[in-house]
Amino acid sequence: MLWSLIFLGLVQSSLAAPPIKRWDAMAEKHSWTEVPQGWEYHSPAPQGMSFQLRIGLKQDRVDDLIRDLYEVSDPAHHRYGNHLSKEDVDALVAPHPESVETLNSWLQHHGIDPEQAVYRSGGGDWITHRVTVAQAEKMLGTKYNVYHRPETGSYIVRTLKYSLPRDLHDHVDVVSPTTYFGKTEAMRVNSFMQPEVPTMQYDLNQFNADADAGEIPASCARQVTPYCLRLLYKTIDYVPGATDRNKLGVTGYLKEYTSNNDLQEFFKRFRPEALGTKLNITLVHDGLNDDERPGTEANLDVQYAMAIAHPTPTVFYSTGGSPPFIADDATMTNTNEPYLDWLEHILNETSIPQTLTTSYGDDEQTVPVEYQKRVCSMFAQLGARGSSVIFSSGDYGVGPGLCYTNDGLKTQKFIPHFPASCPFVTTVSKSTGGIPEKTAGLSGGGFSFTFPRPSYQDAQVKAYLSLIGDAYSGLYNESGRGFPDVAGQARGYQIVHKGTVRSIGGTSAAAPVVAGIVSLLNDYQLTKGQPPLGFLNPWLYSEAASAFNDIVKGSNPGCRTLGFSAHHGWDPVTGLGTPDFEKLKALLDKRITAQ
């Protein structure tokens, strides 16, 4: 009897005690078969160097977040427009308590106090701790090295693979910096100088006087100005009325600074009534803004976003990144994770701009899948809170170069762009010419290999796929998220850079223009007592699909192919087409009247 009682007590004790975690039983989380293209091994990372290690815990109710996002973004749903608060979103992305407990136990095992986090997101799904290279290597079962990119002269500290304890795998989505090499230098090519396009040197007032009322001057087909775009997309007669509430945000990375002197000269030449308008600048994660060293990308984005949306208040977010690495430094202050840096900042704000535009991106296959999904879910959080998130689609057509996969097999595939391929952003490609517009060659577009096709575009994408049949079969993912969603003019933009008018083009030009138009639509919503549009795509592919200028000529060559061709309706070259502001505003009016 006594032995029975002792045995029963032992069983009960073992059932009550939590299982012992085996932190030495590791399983790989992600790896590359070779050093990512463009980077070269330089040297081992100094063991004593410290950096900020970000840990993305699994979000316990992320499916509920996505459900809520679609419901508040679907014009046919009774919750349409009822966006979530920061607190609502934080609650949905918070990790399960067991995940937090498991992570804390692991950190303590490695001598890290869980309470000493450098950063903890509002929902607690992102935790950042400062660690040394030696600590990180032990924690992740890996080896960190310094890698060099000769093309730009930049150095970063990364690893080709990392692991986590098996007991932690189900609780953690991603750890960074690890295997994301952040080839963000390539993002600059979303805009490109066009020295072959003569710059506009004559006075804007004369230009306006020479234009017939309501007619688009012939020169606009070659030299694009805010006046051309406002005529073409029919915003010229709209006067914003909610500038006390509406805000437009423009992101900047890679030491791309904007110049107020250039901005004022641009306004003087191309939007005189905006002269004197101030740009608000927010510095994120060691970001800077040097007025004496402006970048063409930042000037382009700011000048055209503000010129279209004037006088809507605009903020430029300058996010730090791409730091030089000095081997004898004890501390690396910036780990070059620009999207995460900016997203952490903006999602921590109680009030965020109703429209946000970004003209940067990278090849989807160069970004670890877990990283893509977490970043994409953060864009979903912005949409759920009522922000319209705009991204450029890239300027490589269906893919850059020879388009081989980087999985070691080197299979030829089309290479989609990220974050353009994220289903929770609105992606903008490029058009050119007068009415009717046509595609501007090498316009980024295609189908994601990471994200499945969202329901909001199912009908349009299926219709396109039925048109092209088995063309390019095997080179793209027929069930993937199709992009772009819309398009905009993208050649011959006249900007002011270092006091001189220059010509520039690319999807980087189209994105801020479309964002400016969306900002005006948000302004109209607010003046009518309505909520901002928020995540646009469910509306664009339903009610608003008819309010775009359909583009049916052209293609987006790449990967040694002619690429996809434009057709009536949606296509992976120019999406639904270019926006007609008056038609879009009329659709908003119709819904408001019907309420």
List active site positions: 297, 301, 508
Asked whether 576 and 486 are in contact (CB, 8 A), the reply is yes
Strands 161-165 and 26-31, sheet pairing: antiparallel
Report the distance separating Cα 151 and Cα 88, nearest Å: 44
Torsion sign across C-alpha atoms 407, 410, 411, 414? positive
Return d(Cα 572, Cα 464) in angstroms, integer: 9
Q: Which of 118, 115, 114, 139 is nearest to 128 (CA)?
A: 118
Rounded Cα distance, 208 and 228, in Å: 10
Q: Cβ atoms within 10 A of the Cβ of 406, count?
A: 15
**Cα–Cα nearest to 392, from 356, 372, 420:** 420
- Over the Cα atoms of the chain, what is R_g? 25
Q: Taking CA 446 as the corner, what is the angle to CA 443 and CA 451, rounded to the nearest 5 degrees?
A: 135
551 is in an annotated binding site: yes
How far is the C-alpha of 576 from the C-alpha of 477, rounded, in Å?
20
> Residues 314, 280: contact at Cβ < 8 Å?
yes
Of 519, 584, 517, which is closest to residue 246 (Cα–Cα)? 519
Is 569 among the annotated ligand-binding positions? yes
**What values do phi and psi take at 360, rounded to 5?**
-130, 160
Beginning with the edge strand found earlier in the chain, give each strand of the sheet holding 500-505 in spatial order: 192-193, 500-505, 493-497
Residue 383 CA: distances (Å) to CA of 250, 426, 450, 566? 16, 10, 20, 29
287 belongs to an annotated ligand binding site: no
Name the residue with tokens 């290597």: 137
CA gap 388, 353 in Å, rounded: 9
Listed in sequence order, the DSSP H helices in 242-327 are 260-270, 296-309
Structure tokens at 126: 């992102």
**Sign of the CA dihedral 403, 405, 408, 410?**
negative
Q: Dihedral angle at the C-alpha atoms of 374, 379, 385, 386, nearest 10 degrees?
A: -160
The answer to whether 395 is a known ligand-binding residue is: no
Class of residue 419 by CB neighbours under 10 A (exposed 0-12, middle 13-18, buried 19+) = buried
Q: Most distant CA pair in the chain: distance in Å?
A: 107
Task: Assess contact for 477 and 449: CB atoms under 8 A.
Answer: yes
Q: What is the crossing angle of helices 507-527 and 581-594, to 10°?
A: 30
What is the DSSP secondary structure assignment for residue 29, as one 8-state letter?
E
Element (H, E) at 42: strand 40-44
The pair phi, psi for residue 8, each rounded to 5°, is: -65, -40
The two three-digit tokens of residue 417, written as one number: 């762009």
Q: What's the rounded Cα separation, in Å, for the pair 64 and 131?
A: 34
Binding residue positions: 550-551, 569, 571
> Which parts are annotated binding residues for Ca(2+)?
550-551, 569, 571
